[in-house]
Structure 1
Amino acid sequence: MKYIIFEDFSGDPTPIIFPNRIDHADMREQMPYTKALSAGYVSHGPYGFSCHGKSKTLDLEADENDAVIITEKFEDAES
């Protein structure tokens, strides 16, 4: 799966995860958020989320904290 982390209207990082067949730039155009912080590929395995790679079209890459941000959003959704 691909992802982009945006800065939402309150300044918080907000991840959007989407299928590989959708281009990062196409997804970026659909989002109302002004600033994209990072982008790449995400997978989930026995040790949680893992982020890697980059988006050439957005000139952004995965950040070492992206997996933590995504994990926190899933944990927030469960509570």
Structure 2
Amino acid sequence: GVKVYFCDPQSPWQRGTNENTNGLIRQYFPKKTCLAQYTQHELDLVAAQLNNRPRKTLKFKTPKEIIERGVALTD
């Protein structure tokens, strides 16, 4: 199952993985970037790159691999 927990507002240290993902997104889009200037296709390309990037927290598997494995287990 998926563990769910709530973090306190204004406490980024409680959301390490989320903050790491924000940093990865910032490699493509600097802070305060208006995403409306990008096409859906461009945003999808960035999402695909991030979802196919191995993560240390996932034992160097990609988010895509983890999701696909989870979906396969529910079939």
If the length of structure 2 is used for normalisation, what is the TM-score? Answer: 0.27
Whose strand proportion is higher, 1 or 2?
A: 1
Q: Which has the higher contact order (CA 8 A, sep 6+)?
A: 1
If the length of structure 1 is used for normalisation, what is the TM-score? Answer: 0.26
Whose helix proportion is higher, 1 or 2?
A: 2
